[in-house]
């Protein structure tokens, strides 16, 4: 019995040695064959544009595992130049270097026997990927003749099917270079992770619309990124970017656009009363995005964009010289049309965004602030695509916000995207609020104070373009009282009380309807100065209607905005008048 077991053990040992020896022998002799097959596959599938090289390839027929060292996929510059002359060159070129690539359960015999290559897992660690983008207009035309074969058709002469269950790229270093006739710009990303699942290239998968470039799903995870503007005044950063092709979703978290320097340094460099802007959105989500279109030509086409909470903070210091550039043709919808980034989003949804505007007074040196809190809304047909605008030329925006976190404000905008004069309409309503809430912007900038104002509601309907705003406004309020404050560094509280009394009694109507039960409606016909921005034009146009409802004529407004010297004159005249009266009374009392 012992001798039988010795023979059995010996036979098994001989078989194992023979198997390993055979595997070693076949591996050594198959390496050149596989190298030639791989090179041929890359050349044929890319029309000779790419070449593939590597230092060493090890695999085992028994385990079905393989590894490759120093794999390099590089474009052939001479072939690319020839394709450019033939107007067949793609917009994107790829230069890829991988120090180590591991393949699990790879079976070359099956590839040679049945022309099918199936792999369980491919793991690529720390690859360096460079994408060179060079736009060619002929790629957008359907008349261009080019090789229209699918990827399967290109490899079908050598392989009937290629399948990979999982492809992992860990810690990718990515660089995107964009070339134009005059400029060269680059963007770099590090520590990116990518996972592709269920890759299949065969006669049926090429027509499977549920797949993205032959994959069932690709997940991309990009960690934190920071980029500074050319002038180093601003930076852009985000915490994480995730792309899921299976869900057609892109999620960006921790987005921030903010000054890279403090306020003093910002205005020292700007040397002008420029707007200092901070934008922070915790989460931005793109749904139903067309990733094919984005990969091919960097066009962003999506079903919806969601912005969930956030802050938009704008500060302007008027103690510095004002910027007097021409703002005609620079309204938001016109800037959208001029964007170089092609864009088409069916709807943009905002939820709970806080918008603040602050201004430092040139005269008083104080900071006034107005806020639009809990802003939510929807923008429809946000696009600069000419073909899409021919079908629907309107960009519609509906917003609900709370002015100074109290008065509910509902506004609807309708922009004519194809009108050469930038035509648009807007209408809205403001609900009841205490007018004293507006003192945070009125007092620092105008050195005045609303002591009481029961605002019952505001409504307006407007038509506007680059040059003029027309419309009507209704302003219902009760018991408005205004207090003009003493200018800093001066005396004369009594005179300001007199001026406040005169302003409230004779300059503005304390209610609408007024004391005579006459209701005042604002009829607006406002000509826009070329240096006024879109939002300043909105404010100035509506202010015209508000002043008419308050009964403030140009003459009355001049009295309301009188200087300190005029207030002093009022004091002297009224003070002399009262002194004469009291002196007469005192002389009469003494005679008695």
pLDDT at 35: 66
Secondary structure (DSSP) of 384-425:
--HHHHHH--EEEEEEEEEETTTEEEEEEEEEETT-TT--EE
* pLDDT for residue 363 is more than 90: no
Burial annotation 110-120 (CB, 10 A radius, 16+ → b, else e): ebeeeeebbbe
pLDDT at 583: 46
Alpha-carbon gap, residue 90 to 131, rounded angstroms: 12
Tell me the per-residue pLDDT of 239-262, one tens digit each, with 9 for 90 and over. Answer: 999 999 989 999 999 999 999 999
* pLDDT for residue 32 is more than 70: no
* pLDDT for residue 468 is more than 90: yes
Tell me the per-residue pLDDT of 279-309, one tens digit each, with 9 for 90 and over. Answer: 999 999 999 999 888 887 788 999 999 999 9
Q: Which residues, at least 6 apart from 513, have a Cβ–Cβ distance to it below 8 Å? A: 519, 520
* pLDDT for residue 148 is more than 80: no
Q: Which residues, at least 6 apart from 403, have a Cβ–Cβ distance to it below 8 Å? A: 370, 371, 372, 409, 430, 433, 437
pLDDT at 141: 63
Alpha-carbon gap, residue 520 to 576, rounded angstroms: 37
Q: For residues 510 and 504, is the Cβ–Cβ distance under 8 A? A: yes
**DSSP for residue 138:** G
pLDDT at 111: 65
Q: For residues 76 and 69, is the Cβ–Cβ distance under 8 A? A: no
The tokens of 89 are what?
């060159």
Q: For residues 266 and 292, is the Cβ–Cβ distance under 8 A? A: no
pLDDT at 13: 39
Q: Which residues, at least 6 apart from 310, have a Cβ–Cβ distance to it below 8 Å? A: 279, 280, 281, 282, 352, 353, 354
Overall average pLDDT of the 40-63 stretch: 75
pTM: 0.76
Overall average pLDDT of the 477-488 stretch: 77
pLDDT at 559: 58
CA triplet 499, 441, 359: central angle to 5 degrees?
120
The tokens of 286 are what?
């793109």
């Amino acid at each position: 019995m012992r001798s039988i077991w010795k023979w059995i053990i010996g036979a098994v040992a001989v078989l194992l040695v023979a198997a390993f020896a055979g595997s070693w022998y076949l591996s050594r002799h198959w390496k050149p064959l596989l190298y030639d097959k791989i090179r041929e596959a890359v050349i044929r599938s890319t029309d000779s544009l790419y070449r593939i090289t590597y230092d060493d390839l090890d695999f085992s027929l028994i385990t079905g595992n393989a590894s490759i060292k120093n794999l390099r996929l590089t474009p052939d510059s001479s072939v690319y130049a020839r394709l450019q002359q033939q107007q067949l060159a793609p917009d994107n070129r790829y230069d890829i270097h991988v120090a180590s690539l591991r393949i699990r359960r790879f079976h070359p015999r099956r590839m040679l026997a049945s022309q099918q290559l199936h792999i369980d897992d491919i793991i690529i660690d720390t690859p360096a990927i460079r994408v060179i983008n060079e736009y060619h207009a002929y790629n957008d035309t359907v008349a261009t003749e080019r090789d229209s074969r699918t990827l399967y058709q290109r490899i079908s002469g050598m392989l009937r099917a290629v399948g990979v269950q999982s492809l992992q790229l860990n810690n990718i270093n990515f660089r995107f270079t964009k070339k134009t006739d005059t400029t060269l710009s680059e963007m770099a990303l590090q520590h990116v992770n990518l996972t592709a699942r269920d890759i299949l290239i065969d006669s049926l998968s090429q027509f499977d619309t549920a797949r993205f470039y032959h994959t069932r799903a690709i997940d991309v995870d990009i960690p934190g990124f920071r980029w500074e503007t050319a002038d180093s005044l601003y930076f852009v950063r985000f915490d994480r970017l995730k792309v899921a092709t299976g869900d057609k979703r892109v999620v960006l978290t921790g987005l921030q656009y903010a000054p890279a320097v403090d306020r003093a340094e910002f205005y020292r460099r700007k040397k002008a009363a420029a707007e200092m802007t901070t934008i922070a959105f915790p989460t931005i989500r793109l749904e139903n995005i067309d990733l094919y279109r984005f990969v091919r030509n960097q066009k962003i086409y999506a079903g919806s964009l969601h912005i969930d909470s956030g802050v938009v903070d704008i500060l302007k210091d008027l103690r510095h010289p004002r910027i007097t550039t021409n703002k005609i043709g620079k309204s938001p919808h016109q800037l959208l049309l001029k964007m170089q980034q092609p864009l088409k989003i069916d709807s943009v949804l905002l939820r709970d965004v806080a918008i603040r505007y602050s201004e430092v007074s040139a005269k008083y040196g104080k900071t006034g602030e107005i806020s639009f809190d809990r802003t939510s809304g929807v923008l429809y047909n946000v696009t600069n695509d000419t073909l899409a605008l021919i079908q629907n030329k309107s960009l519609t925006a509906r917003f609900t916000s709370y002015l100074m976190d109290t008065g509910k404000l509902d506004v609807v905008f309708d922009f004519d995207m194809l009108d050469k004069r930038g035509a648009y309409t807007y209408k809205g309503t403001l609900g009841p609020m205490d007018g004293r809430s507006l003192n945070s912007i009125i007092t620092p900038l105008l050195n005045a104070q609303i002591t009481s104002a029961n605002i019952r509601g505001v409504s307006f309907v407007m038509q506007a373009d680059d040059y003029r705003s027309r419309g009507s406004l209704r302003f219902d309020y009760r018991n408005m009282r205004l207090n003009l404050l003493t200018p800093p560094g001066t005396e004369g509280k009594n005179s300001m009380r007199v001026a406040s009394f005169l302003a409230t009694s004779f300059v503005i109507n304390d209610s609408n309807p007024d004391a005579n039960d006459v209701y005042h409606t604002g009829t607006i016909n406002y000509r826009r100065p070329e240096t006024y921005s879109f939002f300043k034009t909105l404010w100035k146009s509506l202010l015209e209607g508000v002043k008419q409802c308050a009964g403030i004529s140009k003459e009355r407004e001049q009295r309301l905005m009188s200087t300190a010297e005029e207030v002093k004159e009022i004091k002297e005249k009224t003070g002399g008048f009262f002194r004469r009266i009291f002196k007469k009374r005192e002389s009469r009392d003494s005679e008695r």
